Amino acid sequence: MNLIDQSLVDETTARVLESGVRVFNGALFGDTEAEHVAVLLEALDPPEGAMVLDAGCGVGEMARLMHEARPDLQFLLVNTSTVQLEHCPEDFDRLHADFHELPVLDGVADVVIFSYAICQSGDWPRVLREAFRVLKPGGKLFINDMARLEGDNVEFERVLGAHAHTPEQVEAWAAEAGFHMDFAIAPEVKVDRMRELMNDDALADTLMTGVVPTIWRFESFGGHQRTLHRHKGRVAFQFSGGRDSTAALYALRDFWPQIRVYHVDTGDQFPETRAVVAQVEQALAEAGVELIRIVTDVKGNHQYAGYPTDLIPVDNTALGQMVSGAPLRLQGRYDCCAANLMNPLHARMQLDGMTLLIRGQRADEYASAPLRSGEVADGFEVLYPIEDWSADTVMTFLRELDLPVAPFYAAGTRRAPECMGCTAWWDEGRAAYMRAHHPNEHKVFIQRMADIRREIDRSLSWLNTETEA
C-alpha cells in the first residue's frame, strides 16, 4: 500500500527537476548531490559486480552517480511512476513496478536499496519480506530514510504521504523479514533538502521535529539460517541419540531456540543411548529448549507383528501363518522401524504443523541418498546439516566439543542400534557388543536369532531343492 498520491508525484516531477534537484532525498550528507551519493556508496560498500535493485529510484540519479564511481555495478531501476522512469538513464534496466510486489525472480539481486522510498509505504513488513525474497543469500538491504525518535505520523502522512518509524521498529521488522543488521548511522546533514523544498519553516519544524535522517545496512540470512527462517515456528529436529544425530544437533547450536527437538523412546533403548539423550536433554533445557519425547511400545509390537528380521520366509508373515500354521511370526526390519519409530514421529510432527525436518543423515551412508537437503517429501522439506561429512569428521567434531557419544562405535558397530531386543539390522555388528557389555540380553538375543534362523533355513532348503533339481 503506497501512501503517496501517484498523480501528484507525476505532476511535480518536472518542477522539481527544473529546480536542479535530481536526487530525491530529504537530506544530503554532502554539500552536493554527488558528494551525498559518495557517502551512501561508501556506506553501502557493494561487492564487485553486484546487481543492485534500486526500489523507488526517482529519476535514477543516485544510481547514475554510483555507477560513475563503480562501473562494475549493474542496476535495475524500479519505480511506480512512468514519468520518472522516462527521465532515468536509458542504458540502465528500468522496471515499472510496485516494490510491494516485485515481478522479479527469487534471489536475483545482490543489493536492494530504498533511498527515501520505503517511507511512502504503509506496509513496511511486506516490503521488507519482498526485498528478502529477491535478494541472494547474504545479500544487502540498504535503507536511507528518516527515523522517528518522537511524535507520530499523522501530519507526516497528510503532507508528505510518508511514514517515519523508530529505529527499534525498523530493525524489528527487518529481523522478522529475515535480516540481521550490519549497522545504523545518522551522518551529519549538510543540506536540509526537505526544508528547502517545503519553503515553509513553520511546517518543516512541525514535520521534522524528532525525525533524524538515518542509514541502515542489513544482510539477508544465508545458509541454514535462511532455511530455518523460511520455516519459522515449524522446524523439527529428529534426535536419536546416535553420533550423527548429536553432531547435527550441535552443528545448529546457535539456532536451538528456533527448533523443536523430537526424540522417540521405543521402551527398549540401550542404557548407553539413554545416557546420551539425558545429557543432551539437560543441555537443551539450559538453553530453554524442551526435548519432546514420543513413547512407543516396541515389545508390544513384537507380540502381534512378530520379531523383525532382514529375511522373511513367506510362511512366517501374518498372511502366511494362516496357510502354513508356522508358530513364529516375523516382520521386515523397515516395517518394524516404521511402526515404532518413523510413523509415530512423522504423525506427531504433522500434528504440530512442522514443515522442515532436520536429521543427522550423511550421504556416504547410502549408495544413492533417498533425499538431499532442500528436497521435499510428504509435505516436509529436509535439511541434513552434516550431509557431506564423513564418520571421521563426525567423531572429530564430537571430540573437539567434548560431546556425549555412546561407546558402540569404538567397539566396532557401524551405527548406534535403536533397540536392545532388535533381531534385524544384522549389518550393525550388535551381537559382539552385547556379548561383551550386556550378556543377559545377549543370551535372549541369540535365542531369538536361532529361532529366526530355523525358519529361514526351512525356506532355504526348499530354495536349494528347487535350484538343484
Task: Report the sign of the C-alpha dihedral through residues 340, 342, 347, 351, in that order.
Answer: positive
Cα–Cα distances (Å) from 250 to 49, 167, 231, 247, 284, in that order, read: 36, 34, 19, 5, 10
Q: Do domains 6-221 and 227-468 have the same CATH topology?
A: yes
In which region does residue 89 sit, left (phi positive, over 0), alpha (psi from -120 to 50) or beta (all else)? beta
Q: Give the pLDDT score at 8.
A: 79
- Domain ranges, ordered by start, for the chain: 6-221, 227-468
237 Cβ neighbours under 8 A, 6+ residues apart: 248, 249, 252, 259, 260, 261, 262, 358, 359
Q: State how far Cα 386 lies from the chain centre.
A: 15
Half-sphere exposure of 343 (CA within 13 A, CB side): 10
Task: Report the sign of the C-alpha dihedral through residues 61, 63, 67, 70, in that order.
Answer: positive
Q: What is the pLDDT along the chain (469 residues), one digit of tens a residue?
A: 788 778 878 888 989 999 999 999 999 999 999 999 999 999 999 999 999 999 999 999 999 999 999 999 999 999 999 999 999 999 999 999 999 999 999 999 999 999 999 999 999 999 999 999 999 999 999 999 999 999 999 988 998 999 999 999 999 999 999 999 999 999 999 999 888 878 888 888 888 889 999 999 999 999 999 999 999 999 999 999 999 999 999 999 999 999 999 999 999 999 999 999 999 999 999 999 999 999 999 999 999 999 999 999 999 999 999 999 999 999 999 999 999 999 999 999 999 999 999 999 999 888 777 889 999 998 899 999 999 999 999 999 999 999 999 999 888 888 788 899 999 999 888 899 999 999 999 999 999 999 999 999 999 998 899 898 7
Considering the entire predicted model, what is its pTM? 0.83
For residue 120, give the DSSP letter.
Answer: G
Q: Give the pLDDT score at 216.
A: 98
CA atoms of 151 and 84, how far apart (whole Å):
32
pLDDT tens, 39-88? 999 999 999 999 999 999 999 999 999 999 999 999 999 999 999 999 99
Phi and psi dihedrals of 377, rounded to 5? -145, 130
6-221 maps to CATH 3.40.50.150: yes
Q: Identify whether the C-beta of residue 86 lies closer than 8 Å to the C-beta of residue 60.
A: no
Which CATH homologous superfamily contains domain 227-468?
HUPs (3.40.50.620)
